[in-house]
Amino acid sequence: MNAATARHILDTIGTMFPDAHCELNHNNAFELTIAVLLSAQCSDQMVNKVTADLFQKYKSPEDYLAVPLEELEQDIRRIGLYRNKAKHIHNLCRILIDQYGGEIPSEHDQLVKLPGVGRKTANVVVSTAFDVPAIAVDTHVERVSKRLGFAGWNDSVLEVEKKLMKRVPRDEWSVTHHRLIFFGRYHCKAQNPQCQVCPLLDVCREGKKRMKTSLIRKDKKRRA
């Protein structure tokens, strides 16, 4: 992919989703970290339903540690993998109190050491809560990046992130992260992407393949 094509893609998606943002409801870095932790293998919509009550009950790391683990499990049981996530939250809160004065650290290398916080979560937190440029590669970003040719089909999540960081200007990393998510969530979906009305069809290898397959099927039906 050359620089002109990359710019065209970024500008087009920016025009489609100029107001893209983090859709996980939160009031501070601590709540954001908990919300992103809960969002693993779970929709943002479901996380927001659960955290609506959760964040009313628990305001600080001390609040989470003040209840038995079983109670926290029940509070988040609608979330996938809720037992493991409850353990991560308890352990994370203990570390925050013991090592960081109860506050979420702003450094990426410190965040990834927290229980349940992987590279993607850390990127979301530093970007959204601390305004540090970062690209978090979730399932939508990975899918869109591979379909549009920013990354190879067999690239790992880390490889996708590194290639995006090379193609996207640093001061656009965070907004591009959100726009790629919106593009993948609401337009270039995993199933039934809107290829037929996509303004990027001309540069999308996946879209061209799908449209060609669709035309072949229609032609076969017409001849049958």
Q: How many CB atoms lie within 10 A of CB 89?
A: 26
Tell me how crowded residue 88 is: count the other CB atoms within 10 A of its CB: 19
Question: How far apart are the C-alpha atoms of 106 and 47, rounded to whole Å?
Answer: 23
Catalytic pick from 75, 85, 138, 163?
138
Distance CA(79)–CA(92), nearest Å, equals 18
Q: Which of 38, 80, 39 is nearest to 58 (CA)?
A: 38
Residue 138 annotated to the active site:
yes
Q: What share of the chain is helix, strand, coil (3-state, %, to 5)?
A: 65, 0, 35
Whether residue 131 lies in the annotated active site:
no
Q: Let me know: does 100 contact 30? Beta carbons within 8 Å.
A: no
Among the options 120, 163, 189, 212, which is catalytic? 120
Positions marked active-site: 120, 138
